[in-house]
A and B are shown apart, each in its own frame.
Chain A
Amino acid sequence: MTEIVSFFSQTGFSNLSLGHVVMWLIGLTLIFLAVRKKYEPLLLLPIGFTVFVVNLPLTSLVGNGARGPGLFTFFFHYGLEWEILPSLIFLGLGAMTDFGPLIANPKTILLGAAAQLGVYVAFFGAVFFGFSIPEACSIGIVGGADGPTTIFLTAALAPHLLGVTVIAAYSYMALVPIIQPPIMRLLTTEKERKISMKQLRPVSATEKLLFPLSATLLILLMVPQSAPLLSMFMLGNLFKESKVVERLTEAARNELINVVTIFLGISVGSTLSAENFLQARVFLILSLGLVAFVISTGGGILLAKLMNLFLREKINPLIGSAGVSAVPMAARVSQTLGTQADPKNHLLMHAMGPNVAGVIGTVIAAGIFLSLVE
């Protein structure tokens, strides 16, 4: 009889809590969103399953079990605490990114900077609500709508918030086509939405080759703390634009980024234990993240309108909202709203300028936060 009791006490059943069950539901919801709604499935699917499995009691996938650290703890430690996974994602992103639209119309870099406004507003908001400075940095960065940067910064500053901020960042990225259009319509007039922009000039291969080098030099001299992500990003881009290492470019933007995405999903999901996630502050973090994202969208649009006061060739303010770094979702939204106002008005490539500038802007914001805490 005692053997049976002791066997039962070592099964998952006798160690279940309500918190575990709630986390299963959250994991299953993420899987549902990935499979049925196709919301960021590449990340939400592995995250969802990992959330489910780490909340099965006694599995020792995370933390210290009887036989040493769990499997997922190793992924988290080497992948995220050592900053390896987000940096490798950026290498792949660099190999995918075309800076052409930004080089052809460099003033759109300002829109990418203005769309980081929400990051700083949410930071002060979080401080106001009593979060510590490192926590507030991690919450603020959600407003940049950049997944890997959010992961990078939170892992460095507030690893206990990692699961929450990352779920927030990826949810808002997936919801870009729903969250942004009402704000964009509210802040622009019909006439502004109809502004037609001249086709971008062709950009030479030499300009594209020099861009990653000069941008690296300039940005790293200003914000050295952004080096891990930025240097990998620009190295990937140099691969692509050099046109001499086709194999490395393809590896970085296909196989490597796919492999890394799997480990990133597992590592992030493994931080979502019931104790970590089910606290009143989570709701506050998700709200602050959303506010940050909304303000960033507005910041880009309003700066475009301000610039139009001085520019002879007007900018369509709809491309301002693409300054958040959700590439290319935010640029697609600009395109959709542009053609709704005037079917001949194609803003997609114009919006890619602020969009890629936004990625750089969010990386710089992360660097500024890192230097602030150190």
Chain B
Amino acid sequence: MEGKILRIIRQVGERVEEDGLLLVLDAMKMEIEVVAPVTGTINEIHVSEGQNVDSDTTLVTID
């Protein structure tokens, strides 16, 4: 999904549960909450707030 990163909720090193909120994306004037697909620790956040992203951009890496 193409859009703009609105807010990043988590920080690197934080632990997230499956379905836990990671960041909020703005696509077609809609706030879309991106949640963790798995439980794990956030290894790296590849994007910053305000950045435009394409549909195949990696947003967050979770270990």
Chain A residues at the B interface, C-beta cutoff of 8 Å: 199-200, 202, 328, 331-332, 335, 339, 343-344, 346, 348-349
Q: Nearest chain A CB to B16's CB is how many angstroms away?
A: 12
In whole angstroms, how far apart are the Cα atoms of A339 and B1 in the complex? 14
Contact residue among B19, B30, B35, B37 (Cβ-Cβ distance under 8 Å from A335):
B30
Contacts of B32 in A (CB 8 A): 335, 339, 346, 348
Contact residue among A199, A328, A344, A349 (Cβ-Cβ distance under 8 Å from B19):
A344
Q: List 27 A-B contacts (CB under 8 A).
A: A199-B55, A199-B56, A200-B55, A202-B55, A202-B56, A328-B28, A328-B29, A331-B28, A332-B28, A332-B30, A335-B30, A339-B32, A339-B33, A343-B19, A343-B33, A343-B35, A344-B19, A344-B35, A346-B1, A346-B32, A348-B1, A348-B27, A348-B28, A348-B30, A348-B32, A349-B1, A349-B55
Chain B residues at the A interface, C-beta cutoff of 8 Å: 1, 19, 27-30, 32-33, 35, 37, 55-56
Interface majority SS (helix, strand, loop, mixed), chain B? loop
In whole angstroms, how far apart are the Cα atoms of A202 and B33 in the complex? 23
Known: A328-B29, A343-B19, A346-B32. 8 other contacts (CB 8 A): A199-B55, A200-B55, A328-B28, A332-B30, A339-B32, A339-B33, A343-B33, A348-B32
Contacts of A328 in B (CB 8 A): 28-29
In whole angstroms, how far apart are the Cα atoms of A200 and B37 in the complex? 18
In whole angstroms, how far apart are the Cα atoms of A339 and B29 in the complex? 16
In whole angstroms, how far apart are the Cα atoms of A199 and B54 in the complex? 12
Contacts of B35 in A (CB 8 A): 343-344
Q: Which of B1, B37, B56 lies at the interface centre, i.e. has the most chain A CB atoms within 10 A of its CB?
A: B1
In whole angstroms, how far apart are the Cα atoms of A335 and B1 in the complex? 12
In whole angstroms, how far apart are the Cα atoms of A331 and B30 in the complex? 10
Chain A residue nearest to B1 (CB atoms) is A349
Chain B residue nearest to A349 (CB atoms) is B1
Whether the Cβ atoms of A344 and B37 lie closer than 8 Å is: yes
Chain B residue nearest to A332 (CB atoms) is B30
Chain A residue nearest to B20 (CB atoms) is A343
Contacts of A346 in B (CB 8 A): 1, 32
